[in-house]
Structure 1
Amino acid sequence: MKFWCKSGGWASRKAIRTLAGMTPADVRSVAVIRHAAMGDLVQVRPFLIETRRYFPNAGITLSLCSNYVRGAPDELADRIHVVYGSDRKDVAVSAQLRRARELGYHDLVFDLAATPRSFYLCLLTRAKLKIGFPYKAIQGRLFYDATVPRSDLRYETENMLDMLALLGHRWQYPPVFNMPGEPVVRDRPFIIYFPSASTPVKCWPHGHFAELITGMAAQYPDYEHIVLEGIAAWESVADIMDKTQHLANVTALKLDDLDGTVALVKGASLVVANDTGIRNFAMACNVPTVGIFFVTPVFRYWPRYGHHDVVFTPDGGVPDVDSVFAAARAMLAVRD
């Protein structure tokens, strides 16, 4: 193999020599580090699928963080390794180091996290080659043998797959997620609105959601309009339902079960949501989406394939209701 880059990637001289003596069939062990929340964990699925395709003889270890294991695609890995996270601050440093070293030796290590925790994990892990996508060049030289550029202007799932392209792999496009489970079938087609997010600062105002849902319910009376409630106390949708209680085709729903949530998302005609894991699951299930952004980097979480749109303003202000309404109508028109 060789590194397929000129100026857009980096590899040490030692890494170039090492890779030249390897073929995909020679790779017997691969570690993939992904320390991220549920919505970001789903984005690693194509990488694991493509790793299996390119290195058919390799066992795959997925390294997770203890406070971020919900929703992990463990069925795509042969082994799961879990380091202690922020939920286990009581664990002694010596025990944390022992757990980190349990990742063991691998032919290839791919760091899909690029966090302080994943940096020290790379330092403690022996491997023929360590590959990452850090934001800063100095981090690449310190922790890895080869890197690809990381950008907030590129869809992160594809940015991660660049690490396999660096080694000469032609990954499938659009990326393949292979989300498990069957879609929910309800009495009529339905649209999901998820007004929550990981933090309140990412949430479009509930008053805007209520206005949007009122307009959509009138525009699409044959659809069921489901307002999905988050699991935390602050994620209540009671105020939205108070403003839409006169609409017979608007329903509130709360699901604590991840498999049930994914099944519901799979059956939807459209998902309208903030920057949140529910939207990421919908995109992974090839369900049309409209994302509402005003805090997080929009292009990092916006696939340009399929039926996915985002609403944002150039100055990062809160998008107006009419803009989201127009985007939702456009997505439904494309689907129909």
Structure 2
Amino acid sequence: MKLWFKNGGWASGRGRRVAASIDPAAIKKIAVIRHAALGDMVLTRPFLIELRGIFPNAEITLSLCSNYTRGAPEDLVDRLHVVYGSDRKEVPLKEQIARVRELGEQDLIFDLAVTPRSFYTCLLTRAKLKISFPYKAIQRRLFYDVAVQRSDFQFEADNILDMLRIFGYRVAYPPQFLMPVEPFHHPRPYVVYFPSASTPTRCWPKGLFSQLVGALSEKFPQYDHIVLKGIGEWETIDEIVDPLAGQNNVSAMQLNDFDETLSFVKGASLLVGNDTGIRHVAIACETPTIGIFFDSEPYRYWPRYDFHDAVFCSDATVPSLSAVQLSAEALLARLARSA
């Protein structure tokens, strides 16, 4: 396996020697560590798809964290390995270590998490090569043999694929997600608004969401405008939909089943939401999206292809109603022209 980089990548002396001695056809066991929540989990799919194509005879194991299993791409791997997460703090350290060791010896380990748990998973698991994309130079020297640069200015799903590009492998662009879901069948085309996020600090004000839905439902009456409620008790949407009770093409919906949510998002003409896992699911479902950012980095989760936009201010203040509305109007107009 040749390492294809002059700048922008890193390999230890051992990593260079071992990589040069490995026959790709002899790779039989690969572990991919992804201890991450729903949004980052679905963005792993292009990497796993490419990995299967490159190493068709290898057993691929996906290592998860017990508190982050929702959306795991089980259809793309041969085996799941689940370490104890923050939901299992009562588990004794000895048992936690034993669970990590169940991963077993591998030919290659790709760490797509770069967290304390993934660090000790790497340390406790033997492998010929360990590859990752840590932010800090000290991390690559302590835990890995080969590393690529991680950037907050590159779409996360594409950044992950650099771990294959460094070995000279061609990967598809745009990234391929191949979500195993059929779109929800609705009588009319519909726009989904998801006003929740992992924390309230990432949520665009509900009053602005209500005004946005009202304005777009009037300007685009050919669409149904559906506000999707989150699963948390704090994720109420009454403040958004109650003022719009008189508008016939505005409604609310709550879906507790993940497969139903996938199908519903897949069938949408557009999803407008905060920086949240549901928007990442929409990206993976090839549904056009608008992301509203002010508490997180936009470029990591903004695909610069197809029909996606990110609305944010350079000073990280909350985007205005007009900014989000203009983005939505422009994207819906582009969709109409492309139909």
Whole-angstrom CA distance in 2 between matches of 1:180 and 1:239: 34
Which residue is equivalent to 2:262?
262
Whole-angstrom CA distance in 1 between matches of 2:175 and 2:205: 32
Task: Determine whether 1:288 maps to 2:283.
Answer: no
* Partner deviation per Cα, 1:185-233 (whole Å, 9 max, x = no partner): 1111100000000100000000000000010010011210000000111
Question: Which blocks of at least 5 consecutive residues in structure 2 are unaligned?
Answer: none
The one-letter code of the counterpart of 2:248 is A
Whole-angstrom CA distance in 2 between matches of 1:179 and 1:106: 27
Which residue is equivalent to 1:207?
207
Which residue is equivalent to 2:223?
223
Whole-angstrom CA distance in 1 between matches of 2:170 and 2:88: 39
Task: Determine whether 1:6 maps to 2:12.
Answer: no
- For the aligned residues, what is the CA RMSD? 0.7
Q: How does 1:235-246 map to 2 (within 5 A)?
A: 235-246=235-246
Which residue is equivalent to 1:19?
19
| SS of structure 1 residue aligned to 2:44 | helix
Whole-angstrom CA distance in 2 between matches of 1:6 and 1:54: 23
Whole-angstrom CA distance in 2 between matches of 1:118 and 1:212: 41
Whole-angstrom CA distance in 2 between matches of 1:156 and 1:186: 31
Give the total of aligned pairs.
336
TM-score normalised to structure 1 length: 0.99
| SS of structure 2 residue aligned to 1:235 | coil
The one-letter code of the counterpart of 2:11 is A
The one-letter code of the counterpart of 1:327 is S
CA drift of 1:19 comes to 1.2
Which residue is equivalent to 2:153?
153
Which residue is equivalent to 1:104?
104
Q: How does 1:141-220 map to 2 (within 5 A)?
A: 141-220=141-220
The one-letter code of the counterpart of 1:192 is V
Whole-angstrom CA distance in 2 between matches of 1:239 and 1:94: 48
CA drift of 1:24 comes to 2.2
| SS of structure 2 residue aligned to 1:234 | coil
Which residue is equivalent to 2:278?
278
The one-letter code of the counterpart of 1:137 is A
Which residue is equivalent to 2:121?
121
Which residue is equivalent to 1:234?
234
CA drift of 1:23 comes to 2.8
- Stretches (4+) displaced over 2 A: none
Question: Which blocks of at least 5 consecutive residues in structure 1 are unaligned?
Answer: none
| SS of structure 2 residue aligned to 1:179 | coil
Task: Determine whether 1:301 maps to 2:305.
Answer: no
Which residue is equivalent to 2:250?
250
Whole-angstrom CA distance in 2 between matches of 1:111 and 1:241: 42
Which residue is equivalent to 2:56?
56
